[in-house]
Amino acid sequence: MGKRGIETLVGAFVLLGMAGLVFLALKAANLGSVGGGDAYMLTANFDNIGGLKPRAPVRAAGVTVGRVKSILLDPKTFQGVVTLDIDKSYLFPKDTAAKILTAGLLGDQYVGLEPGGDDANLAAGETIAQTQSAVVLENLIGQFLTGKADTAAAPAVGASGAGQ
């Protein structure tokens, strides 16, 4: 194998490496399924969306069934309006609940759908009525600390004058 053949192999190896990096970058950014298939749109209103971002997955039973299309603030209710693109092959009952969940302890957030038992299904453009906002770690820590401060400041019941 001559010098030219080795240079060709090295060039091909570099191109394969670059293609692999592009593939990994698309997967990491949730852009691997651009222009997937047919989808229908649903909306859900949340008091707090936490760190939810557009293109975040929408999952039911751990299976990705769609993506978050957009997130807006409703100027009247001051709630986050999350628009979801759901694959047409998945139909959900009208009493489905939407929750903002976190993948792992400190992972990315996604929308979890919990189907109800209604016979009628949600149609394109409808709003999911039952929602649960994101759990914000800072709020939980604040509640824990203020709860501990309240119990430390309050005297124990029966501690004073118990021997009289």
Domain that holds residue 4: 1-32
pTM (two decimals)? 0.65
Domain count along the chain: 2
Residue 109 lies in a domain: yes
Please choose, from the candidates 22, 46, 155, the residue with its C-alpha nearest in 3D space to the C-alpha of residue 109.
46
72 and 18 co-located in one domain: no
68 and 21 co-located in one domain: no
Q: What does the pLDDT look like over 106-121, one tens digit per residue?
A: 778 899 999 988 888 8
CA 128 centroid distance within chain: 16
Beta carbons of 81 and 45 less than 8 angstroms apart = yes
Q: What does the pLDDT look like over 24-38, one tens digit per residue?
A: 887 776 555 544 568
Q: What does the pLDDT look like over 50-83, one tens digit per residue?
A: 888 999 999 999 899 999 999 999 999 999 999 9
Rg of the chain, C-alpha, whole Å:
25
Count of CB atoms situated within 10 Å of the CB of 45: 17
